[in-house]
Amino acid sequence: MMVRTVVVVDSSVMNTPSTPHAQEVELKLALPATGPAALLRQLSRVPALARRKATTLQLHNVYYDTPEQTLRDLRVALRLRRVGSAATPQWLQTLKVGGAGDSALSQRGEWETPVAGPALSSQALQATPWTGIDLDGRLFDTLTPCFETSFERTRWVVRQRDGSAVEVALDRGHITAGGHRLALCELELELLAGSPEVLFALAGQIAERVAVLPLSASKSERAYALAQHGALPPRRARPPTLTPGLAVAQAAQRVLREAFDQFVTNLHLLAHSDDPEVVHQARVGWRRFRSLQRLFKPVLRDGDAPTWLALQPLCQALGELRDLDVARTDTLAPLADAFVRGSASRQLVWQTMLKLLTQAARQQRLAVRHAITQPSVGACLLATTQWLESLAQPETAILPPDPHLSGWARRRLRRLHQRLQGAMRESRGEEDTLGQHRARILAKHLRYGIEALGGLWHKPWAHAWQQQAVTLQGKLGAMRDLARALELMDALGVDPTVIAFLRGVAVGRIARG
């Protein structure tokens, strides 16, 4: 029996005598906005692919897990793959271990074995880490199909003169899970020989002609989410667990990876979702990333990070869309009854205003989707992914004088808290918009920093500072949202009675403090 073996880099279930000593390294890219025919034409123009003959396979995969999703919790995937048509199939059983993380560049273990037919084989799991997971075979007996993927794979193998080699796979099809279906269109670049830099160089060539987004979630991760929610949910912040003995540069990498993944994953969802929360979480992800990058800046070498200038039009478009969404769903909705007061004519005025806002939000959403498909955006996101992968390397990081993460982080947060306290003292009251803005931004920086690093201590002061930042951010944010809604009403040319009413609300809130 021939077994294809590749590796995992960091998994507790791999501590078995049969653990392999090779690595699979793969870079995943979502393709947000290109039709199938145009996509193949664009890829065929990529210099590295134009000279290679592509092969096409039909792949159908059934993934297995226990009813309690034990394998998911262990970061393990087990599937049966049918290659070719149902009439003349070839069957492969694949075990994957590890690889779950916040980066489009993944490393994992993979054991692929030919099997006789469409049924799991316990024999094919011998000499794999499964023997360390399922000691008595009881887990295997509880496995059942949990979701399926079916797609056409177009495959190129790119070999370079320096001996490096990359497999480029274009997958187009769908995921079926829990009675729901999700379209699938993505690229996987697998390193066959050479260093990971080869993957980024080839991905950069592709990004010049095809809109791409780095993609961290595997097909199985998306399938589990689809089965649970019926659609891919907004990607919210989930700061990584840090330990006091961790090197500061390693902590920087983990924290920044997670925030960047929040941003990019929601960009991927924005290509198809109209959910305002996706827009909100995309903006939060970017703000967290930039805030935390500034927090860790003293331990990172100047000049190594991308400029992110190419992302400015996208971030500005996201901000304008978020303002429209907040005005429609948060700021104005609670004020409707107070404005209408039982008047049919005022009800009509309010409804007309909401229609204008809705139309503006729809147009702005199209502008955001267009911005996502700009080649410069994909290239910048790829450069950021590559930069994040380099952060923990000795030549990239500058070690702080105090090698202990907890002490270094506490000093950084204390400095932020002192700056916030100073901004609050210097603010000249509710009419000091510049002072309010500075205090609100510092409150966000402090909040994001404590959320990312506060788990190192579990101290009362960290909780108190976080609550202060959240309260201040909420108070000043509400005033800012109302002021922004007034600006939008002016720009949209709504009925003057609405604008006068909102100005009265603002004056009343200022008077109440």
Q: Would the pLDDT of 62 be above 80?
A: yes
d(CA 513, CA 486): 19
Tell me the range of 34-48, 347-361, 385-399 where mean pLDDT is highest. 347-361
Share of the chain above pLDDT 90, in %: 77
Average pLDDT of every residue of the chain: 90
Q: Angle 460-492/433-453 helices, nearest 10 degrees? A: 130
Reported as a pLDDT band with limits 50, 70 and 90, residue 431 is low
* Mean pLDDT (whole number) for 231-250: 92
Give the pLDDT of residue 84.
92
d(CA 197, CA 390): 10
Read off the amino acid at residue 47.
P
Whole-model pTM? 0.92
User: Tell me, what DSSP letter sits at residue 334?
Assistant: G
Q: Would the pLDDT of 51 be above 90?
A: no
d(CA 19, CA 13): 10
Give the pLDDT of residue 9.
31
* Mean pLDDT (whole number) for 76-84: 96
Give the pLDDT of residue 244.
87
* Mean pLDDT (whole number) for 446-450: 97
Least confident of 89-98, 204-213, 359-368, 426-435: 426-435
Give the pLDDT of residue 23.
61
CATH topology of domain 4-233: Hypothetical Protein Pfu-838710-001 (2.40.320)
CA distances from 352 to 78, 181, 356, 400 (A): 54, 37, 6, 58
* Mean pLDDT (whole number) for 470-488: 93
d(CA 76, CA 130): 9
User: Which residue bears the tokens 């720009």?
Assistant: 491
3-class DSSP state of 185? strand
CATH top class, domain 278-512: mainly alpha
pLDDT tens per residue across span 345-378: 999 999 999 999 999 999 999 999 999 999 999 9
Nearest C-alpha neighbor of 213 from the set 26, 40, 29: 29
Give the pLDDT of residue 19.
36
Least confident of 117-121, 149-153, 289-293, 398-402: 398-402
* More confident site: 403 or 123: 123
User: Which positions ≥6 away from 435 have C-beta within 8 Å?
Assistant: 423, 426, 427, 428
Cβ atoms 232, 267 nearer than 8 A:
no
Q: Would the pLDDT of 471 be above 90?
A: yes
Give the pLDDT of residue 11.
34
Question: Buried (b) or exposed (e) across 205-239, using 16+ Cβ within 10 A?
Answer: ebbebbbbbbbbbbbbbbbbbbbeeeebbbbeeeb
CA distances from 289 to 68, 91, 182, 257, 297 (A): 34, 43, 29, 8, 12
Encoding tokens for residue 52?
């290679």
Q: Where in the chain is the domain with CATH 1.40.20.10?
A: 278-512
Q: Would the pLDDT of 10 be above 60?
A: no
Give the pLDDT of residue 396.
59
3-class DSSP state of 32? coil
Give DSSP secondary structure letters for 240-258.
Answer: PP--TTS-HHHHHHHHHHH
Cβ atoms 18, 127 nearer than 8 A:
yes
Q: Where in the chain is the domain with CATH 2.40.320.10?
A: 4-233
Q: Would the pLDDT of 38 be above 80?
A: yes
Give the pLDDT of residue 16.
34
Reported as a pLDDT band with limits 50, 70 and 90, residue 394 is low
